Structure 1
Amino acid sequence: MNLKSSLDKISIFQQVGTVADQLGMETYLVGGYVRDILLERPSKDIDFVCIGDGIRLAQAVSRSLENRPAVSVFKNFGTAMIRIDDWEVEFVGARKESYQTASRKPKVEAGTLQEDQERRDLTINTLGVAVNKENYGTLLDPFEGLKDLKRKVIRTPTDPNITFSDDPLRMLRAVRFAAQLKFDIAPDTFEGIIRNASRLSIISGERIIDELNKIIMTDKPSYGFKLLFVSGLLKEFFPEMVALQGVDSVGDKSHKDNFYHTLQVLDNLSARSDNLWLRWAAIMHDIAKPATKRFNQKAGWTFHGHEDKGARMTPGIFRRLKLPMDDRMKYVQKLVKLHLRPIALVNDEVTDAALRRLLFEAGDDVEDLMQLCRADVTSKNNHKVKRFLANFDKVEKKLQEVEAKDQVRNFQPPVSGDEIMTIFGLKPSRIVGDLKEEIKEAILDGQIQNNKNEALQLMYELAAKKGIEKKTNE
């Protein structure tokens, strides 16, 4: 690919070069944007390194532009950023770094371009392109990053032991780039990750989960998870998932490896959906199997109640991993709890009441639940897979029929607690909740229709049985 022609398509590169020349600053486009040009991948982050004051260069570039975009200055890091259309353009002076063992925050000093490239995490991120007029478009590649791009290899520019020990987050970035780009990690670089995996303990949970979510959102996330598992990184922050790995046997009875099953479910789902939280439901759906594993001489290995325990484990895991403790967590928790329910509805004798209950509990997430259930079919027996998927077709058809007839998805009981209290002159109490719950159950069981008149009639009947009289106006 012709780098110069690629740069010429976007005016900011020549603009920065012109301003840099006016200031007498040697300036380069560096890092991810150069990598992505060469890989023909989209990119929105543009980074410039100059020999000198990056903040001064950013301010001069802003003044040179017609609309004079605001400059965000980060003095502690010696960086500045301006937004130009959809681009985030960052400027920094070339620097060198030194680290203390207990922290990933470096001591930063002004440095040469070579020292700036040396401090970067991977060779494919060390590439630089000159933007000054004299050598515009010239590629600087001191660590053979271009060769690694062509070979599809992830490698550190210097000793991986030092690179990863200095900033352990780089280990997760190495795995993330391998997963995103479908590259291999060079043997010595992977050995460096294994040796330094325990150093991940000095990295904040927020940084870790940011990288993990990027791995989860790759085309085939199982690859990234396998690298995390084999390297020892996964057990540093997600031991519950590591506990899924392994197979126990008693006589001729064994269970499947639930770690690799989970990864297959995740891949199956990822082929159908780019919903991050649905992918998290796939990761979490069997998370409680180690805790619920039992051996029965007749039945073999069982995991009774793993869906309920997994749902109970979800908030604690989300909290520890610094994942959001909001409706997204509740969504994952709900899908974990319900993921076994649809297969139980395959039987031809299944009642409408059972279907109504699933629709009521799953609400608007019932389609996502069915996607998870389909992804959960991982047998190597193709005939068995086809049979299970055909069964889910039946369940979906039944659910659609019941929903069209009864409209119970996300329904609220036609009679509210406030109405019950007003009609009978009651204060907030258990009896009010009981009446409301019994009306809801009657609708789900199909005893009455989901409408106000039938709900009120049942309410009066239930109240009479409990000795509750309608309030009279005095």
Structure 2
Amino acid sequence: MSPAELNAALSELLRITPVAGRLGRLFADAGHELYLVGGSVRDALLARLGSDLDFTTSARPDEVEALLRRFSPAVWTIGKEFGTIGCSVEADGTSWVVEVTTFRADAYAADSRKPVVAFGDTLAEDLVRRDFTVNAMAVSLPQLRFSDPYGGLDDLEAKRLRTPAAPETSFSDDPLRMMRAARFAAQLGFTPVPEVVAAMTAMADRIDIISAERVRDELSKTLLADRPRAGLDLLVGTGLADRVLPELPALRLERDEHHRHKDVYEHSLTVLEQAIELEHRLTPAEATEPAGPDLVLRLAALLHDIGKPDTRRFEAGGKVSFHHHDVVGAKLARRRLTALRFSSDDVKAVAELITLHLRFHGYKPGDGEGAAWTDSAVRRYVRDAGDQLERLHILTRADCTTRNRAKAARLWAAYDDLEARIAELAESEELAALRPDLDGRQIMALLDIPPGPLVGKAYHYLLELRIDEGPLAPEQAEAALSVWWAEQQA
């Protein structure tokens, strides 16, 4: 980047962050240094700066808090023990989130999950302990002097990931930086230099001291990037995935000598990419903005086949089977995502999608080639998918990675047919709210029974009848329930 381009970038930075100049003058008047730093500088130079701003300062945390309380009525101190004070401020119609951190150097003891915080006195001390050179650039405020002691600007232009200090030192100080390298590979398209990759590989076991929550957050950010494959490949290639998500590298099954099954790992990454391309389907028709990246869908796409290694069997004639890998995979996903502290709702949704991802493959479109699915089978498909139906549509379509164009066309046509049938039934039967034709109160009145397990059994019977027969008139439902009840009493 030429000096002129750099000056233009800094001018743009000042224009789009009106809070920066005001904050800089406040700290300068109090006798303290203040710098915009890290990802904020990097993103400003990439013309992708958001409304979250990171600063570093010579002021100690108590002094920072006092100054920010003069700057904003909304100040929080949740990170104060680590030297960080935050606030929010409105300026030119934008809500800015500001975090100011005292010059510091974080390090992990060999067996600790928590950083030992030591405050520094100079910007140089702070920048050398940053994760990567592209995050070790700073802009002084209010003077707007650019500091780049480790060549971050050159690395930014080259899309290169290097560490300011030796990578072994950087990753020892905070092992999560190894996963952050994967995230930047996915988010920004940056490539780590060989010495960074070598250090990640040699030190992969060091990630074990990091809390599951922090690992989960980095993994999620990697998955939610526009192009997560590069980051996932880096995690697998360096052995980090063996420590944090071992089910993923386990998908690299050895091919049989006749190459009669797919590379499951590559297939899974392709399914993930194809699911991302179809994510727009999750945006409601009435929405004015597209839905953002969907973590549940992406986790399900990535993990949908993780049951295959445990279920692989070599059959007669050289065939390979993976019977029940959907059920096994759902159990593995539930266990792994729970260990990584994903929310119970996300774990449940991902497991359900993995369980159901093969269901469509028994579908017949009624084109004369075999028995078509009945309306009852379509209703059960919708009932079992529940609120995951649209994600299941996307996952099932994305799971088609065959290079045989004719086969792919048949699969897509079949799924078009299934979705059309679901839409038709939904319009005529309120399929999205599959319920029995009688509710619990009506069941108790008709059978003259109190609340309890028998009401639940009767409700389940009527629900199955509703799925098999479609909507019934109240008198038909009552007659069927009476017959069922008589059989129960016999």
Q: What residue is the counterpart of 1:23 in the other structure? A: 30
- 2:424 aligned with 1:401, yes or no? yes
- How many residue pairs get aligned? The number is 460
Aligned match of 1:247 in 242, 254, 277? 254
Give, in whole Å, the separation in 1 of the partners of 2:141 and 2:132.
Answer: 22
- Secondary structure in structure 2 of the residue aligned to 1:102: coil
Q: What residue is the counterpart of 1:290 in the other structure? A: 309
- Secondary structure in structure 1 of the residue aligned to 2:344: coil
Q: What residue is the counterpart of 2:476 in the other structure? A: 454
Q: What residue is the counterpart of 2:190 in the other structure? A: 183
Structure 1 residue 52 displacement after superposition:
3.2
- Residue by residue, what CA displacement relative to the aligned partner does 1:184-207 show, whole Å, maximum 9, x if unpaired? 111111111111100000000000
- 2:144 aligned with 1:129, yes or no? no
Amino acid at match of 2:81: N
Give, in whole Å, the separation in 2 of the partners of 1:72 and 1:350.
Answer: 60
Amino acid at match of 1:117: L
Q: What residue is the counterpart of 1:330 in the other structure? A: 348
Q: What residue is the counterpart of 2:98 in the other structure? A: 89
- Secondary structure in structure 2 of the residue aligned to 1:465: helix
Identity of aligned residues (%): 34
- 2:485 aligned with 1:463, yes or no? yes
- Residue by residue, what CA displacement relative to the aligned partner does 1:83-135 show, whole Å, maximum 9, x if unpaired? 11322212222233454222251241323111110010000000000114xxx
Amino acid at match of 1:119: R
Q: Using structure 2 for the length normalisation, give the TM-score.
A: 0.88
Aligned match of 1:150 in 154, 157, 172? 157
- Secondary structure in structure 2 of the residue aligned to 1:48: strand
Give, in whole Å, the separation in 1 of the partners of 2:373 and 2:73.
Answer: 67
Structure 1 residue 24 displacement after superposition:
1.9
- 2:409 aligned with 1:386, yes or no? yes
Q: Which moved more, 1:289-298 or 1:172-181?
A: 289-298
Give, in whole Å, the separation in 2 of the partners of 1:89 and 1:76.
Answer: 17
Structure 1 residue 464 displacement after superposition:
2.6
- 2:166 aligned with 1:159, yes or no? yes
Q: What residue is the counterpart of 1:415 in the other structure? A: 438
Q: 1:205 to 1:74 in 2, by over 3 A?
A: closer
Give, in whole Å, the separation in 2 of the partners of 1:299 and 1:339.
Answer: 25
Q: What residue is the counterpart of 1:224 in the other structure? A: 231
Structure 1 residue 450 displacement after superposition:
4.1
Report if aligned partners of 1:120, 1:157 keep a CA contact under 8 Å in 2. yes
- Residue by residue, what CA displacement relative to the aligned partner does 1:238-288 show, whole Å, maximum 9, x if unpaired? 112221112341x53632121111111011111222211111111221121
Q: What residue is the counterpart of 2:290 in the other structure? A: none
Q: Which moved more, 1:53-62 or 1:365-374?
A: 53-62
Report if aligned partners of 1:346, 1:394 keep a CA contact under 8 Å in 2. no
CA-based RMSD: 2.1
Give, in whole Å, the separation in 1 of the partners of 2:80 and 2:383.
Answer: 54
Give, in whole Å, the separation in 1 of the partners of 2:484 and 2:251.
Answer: 48
Q: Which moved more, 1:403-412 or 1:53-62?
A: 53-62
Give, in whole Å, the separation in 1 of the partners of 2:318 and 2:106.
Answer: 60
Amino acid at match of 2:468: D
Give, in whole Å, the separation in 2 of the partners of 1:217 and 1:98.
Answer: 28
Give, in whole Å, the separation in 1 of the partners of 2:115 and 2:324.
Answer: 45
Give, in whole Å, the separation in 2 of the partners of 1:73 and 1:369.
Answer: 40
- Secondary structure in structure 1 of the residue aligned to 2:203: helix
Q: 1:253 to 1:169 in 2, by over 3 A?
A: closer
Give, in whole Å, the separation in 2 of the partners of 1:334 and 1:98.
Answer: 40
- Secondary structure in structure 2 of the residue aligned to 1:24: coil
- 2:55 aligned with 1:77, yes or no? no
Q: What residue is the counterpart of 2:39 in the other structure? A: 32
Q: 1:366 to 1:99 in 2, by over 3 A?
A: closer
Give, in whole Å, the separation in 2 of the partners of 1:105 and 1:240.
Answer: 29
Q: What residue is the counterpart of 1:373 in the other structure? A: 396
Q: What residue is the counterpart of 1:346 in the other structure? A: 364
Give, in whole Å, the separation in 1 of the partners of 2:105 and 2:332.
Answer: 44
Structure 1 residue 58 displacement after superposition:
4.5
